[in-house]
Amino acid sequence: MKLLVILLFSGLILGCRGNSSYSLPPKLLLVSFDGFRADYLQNYEFPHLQNFIKEGVLVERVKNVFITKTFPNHYSIVTGLYEESHGIVANSMYDVITKRHFSDLNDKDPFWWNEAVPIWVTNQLQGNRSSAAAMWPGTDVPIHNTTPSYFMNYSSSVSFEERLNNITVWLSNSNPPVTFATLYWEEPDASGHRYGPEDKENMRRVLKGIDDLVGDLVYKLKTLGLWENLNVIITSDHGMTQCSQDRLINLDSCIRRSDYTVIDWTPVAAVLPKINRTEVYNTLKTCHPHLNVYLKEEIPARFHYQHNDRIPPLILVADEGWTIGRNKSSSKLGDHGYDNSLPSMHPFLAAHGPAFHKGYKHSTINIVDIYPMMCHILGLKPHPNNGTFGHTKCLLVDQWCINLPEAIGIVIGALLVLTMLTGLIIIMQKRYSVPHPFSRLQLQEDDDDPLIG
Ligand SMILES: [Zn+2]
């Protein structure tokens, strides 16, 4: 009896402890390795990242948004919006009305960012929680008068180690607790531009470096006791494709420099005509077989890239691997920004933590689907967005999902089993059927017939 009481009592205590750890607010760390092309995962070795995936989930391909550039896609991840809706439509922009310029080195004016509300702002406004950022485009700008409670001013010269150190300190000792954090790293984008993704030898070395950083991240989180309760998403903004000196589109060969201004150059050029727009359009239209020229109102609907004042009256889109310029040479051997339906432009996503399944692989989601999933994990009410929460349900432990090929398999399997059972029942019935008790009687009646006749 005593033993029973002790067991019950200890069970009660354990139960309470379980509940209290369950009631801790969910935490999420969002990591971006810039320019991590989806198929690097298949073509190179990543022992640390593969360990992370083995215990978590992998989305092999993330369809990002047009234009496939850094600032626009990082803002789509944290807002769930297409570029025309969040307003960061390029790495370089010009606002015709206010005559303001935006570039990756001149990005601190909240004017450019205020068309959307990023998740780190929502996270701080919807509860007693903090956000922290070891860099991510926009995190050092007071968007809607709010920065993350903890952030670093952007500087590419700050080491990964220092960024990681800051993030782990903020995740460990903050009041109110940091429940959402970002960590950004410039590679493998910088090396992808320099060498081109087809330079296997250099990219192998660079990507091994990235994998080592993933190893450092996991080791540090485990050492500090943060690993078990923290959800970690590792993803990227875009891929990378091979460019060449032989694939240059020289605008000087088609049009006078005095007829237009270019705000953003390649592979999507934002053009402001200085003379009649139709004249510039007609001239550029026949400039080069690998140059696609669109009036703003003609931009294909699938790009979701039209309804914003910051999108210029004319855009030029180069075919994959081609570079738009005015000079006869280009130093870049790799680039991105191209059509977002190209596989080379797609990044991947991996995730680990209490919110995610273990060892689950998924083929594809959209980059705008990440935002509603993160809001769900953090228990936040999402702002209106272009993402679909349903696309990410299969990744999450608290959601029920149907994988279409699996579902079709189950239905076909069930139909086969049913058909076999029915067949078996029919055969058994035939084999063991006894003559009908009235059939003899019937026969007798029949037998009587001739007598009557
Ligand atoms: Zn990038």
**CATH number of the domain within which 373 lies:** 3.40.720.10
pLDDT (0 to 100) of residue 38: 98
Provide mean pLDDT across the span 264-280.
Answer: 96
CATH code at position 282: 3.30.1360.180
Residues 167 and 66 reside in one and the same domain = yes
Look at residue 303 and tell me if it is in a domain: yes
Residue 451's pLDDT band (boundaries 50, 70, 90)? very low
Domain closes at, from 334, 349, 377: 334
Look at residue 412 and tell me if it is in a domain: no
Distance (Å) from CA 3 to ligand 1 centroid: 62
Residue 415's pLDDT band (boundaries 50, 70, 90)? confident
The answer to whether 353 and 56 are in contact (CB under 8 A) is yes
Distance (Å) from CA 238 to ligand 1 centroid: 6
Residue 445's pLDDT band (boundaries 50, 70, 90)? very low
* pLDDT tens digit sequence for 316-361: 999 999 999 997 777 789 999 999 999 999 999 999 999 999 999 9
Provide mean pLDDT across the span 427-438.
Answer: 64
pLDDT (0 to 100) of residue 434: 52
Query: Distances in Å between the alpha carbon of 373 and those of 48, 251, 367, 396?
Result: 25, 43, 11, 9
Q: Which residues are catalytic?
A: 70
Provide mean pLDDT across the span 215-225.
Answer: 98
> Do the bridges between strand 291-295 and strand 360-366 make them parallel or antiparallel, or are there none, so unpaired?
unpaired
User: Which residues span the domain enclosing 383?
Assistant: 23-81+116-242+340-395
pLDDT (0 to 100) of residue 17: 36
Residues 122 and 165 reside in one and the same domain = yes
Look at residue 259 and tell me if it is in a domain: yes
Structure tokens at 291: 């140059």
Residues 292 and 176 reside in one and the same domain = no
Residue 191's pLDDT band (boundaries 50, 70, 90)? very high
Residue 24's pLDDT band (boundaries 50, 70, 90)? confident
Whole-number Å distance between alpha carbons of 224 and 27: 15
Residue 424's pLDDT band (boundaries 50, 70, 90)? confident
Mention every residue, 6+ apart, whose C-beta is less than 8 A from residue 87.
112, 113, 114, 115, 116, 308, 310
Q: Decide if pLDDT at 378 tops 90.
A: yes
Domain closes at, from 317, 334, 351: 334
Distance (Å) from CA 63 to ligand 1 centroid: 14
Distance (Å) from CA 92 to ligand 1 centroid: 13
Residue 15's pLDDT band (boundaries 50, 70, 90)? very low
Provide mean pLDDT across the span 388-402.
Answer: 95
Q: Decide if pLDDT at 13 tops 50.
A: no
How would you classify residue 246: left for phi > 0, otherwise alpha for psi between -120 and 50, otherwise beta?
alpha
pLDDT (0 to 100) of residue 441: 43
Distance (Å) from CA 4 to ligand 1 centroid: 61
3-state SS class at 352: strand
Residues 267 and 238 reside in one and the same domain = no
Residue 433's pLDDT band (boundaries 50, 70, 90)? low
For residue 370, the 8-state DSSP code is H
Look at residue 345 and tell me if it is in a domain: yes
Look at residue 129 and tell me if it is in a domain: yes
The answer to whether 317 and 90 are in contact (CB under 8 A) is no
Residues 326 and 351 reside in one and the same domain = no
* pLDDT tens digit sequence for 135-170: 999 999 999 999 999 999 999 999 999 999 999 999
Q: Decide if pLDDT at 362 tops 80.
A: yes
The whole-chain average pLDDT of the chain stands at 90
Provide mean pLDDT across the span 10-14.
Answer: 38
Q: Decide if pLDDT at 68 tops 50.
A: yes
Provide mean pLDDT across the span 305-314.
Answer: 97
Residues 330 and 349 reside in one and the same domain = no
Whole-number Å distance between alpha carbons of 29 and 348: 16
Query: Distances in Å between the alpha carbon of 173 and those of 123, 164, 269, 363?
Result: 18, 14, 46, 37
Distance (Å) from CA 188 to ligand 1 centroid: 9
> Do the bridges between strand 27-33 and strand 178-185 make them parallel or antiparallel, or are there none, so unpaired?
parallel
Number of independent structural domains in the chain: 2
Q: Which residues pair with 261 in a beta bridge?
A: 272
Distance (Å) from CA 441 to ligand 1 centroid: 90
Separation of first and last alpha carbons in the chain: 92
Distance (Å) from CA 41 to ligand 1 centroid: 17
Residues 274 and 131 reside in one and the same domain = no
Residues 139 and 215 reside in one and the same domain = yes
Picking from 172, 193, 194, the residue whose alpha carbon sits closest to that of residue 181 is: 172
Distance (Å) from CA 189 to ligand 1 centroid: 6
Look at residue 449 and tell me if it is in a domain: no
Residue 30's pLDDT band (boundaries 50, 70, 90)? very high
Distance (Å) from CA 409 to ligand 1 centroid: 39
Look at residue 421 and tell me if it is in a domain: no
pLDDT (0 to 100) of residue 230: 98
Residues 69 and 133 reside in one and the same domain = yes
Residues 35 and 175 reside in one and the same domain = yes
pLDDT (0 to 100) of residue 1: 43
Look at residue 212 and tell me if it is in a domain: yes
Residues 225 and 162 reside in one and the same domain = yes
Distance (Å) from CA 240 to ligand 1 centroid: 9
3-state SS class at 244: coil
Residues 361 and 325 reside in one and the same domain = no
pLDDT (0 to 100) of residue 405: 66
pLDDT (0 to 100) of residue 211: 98
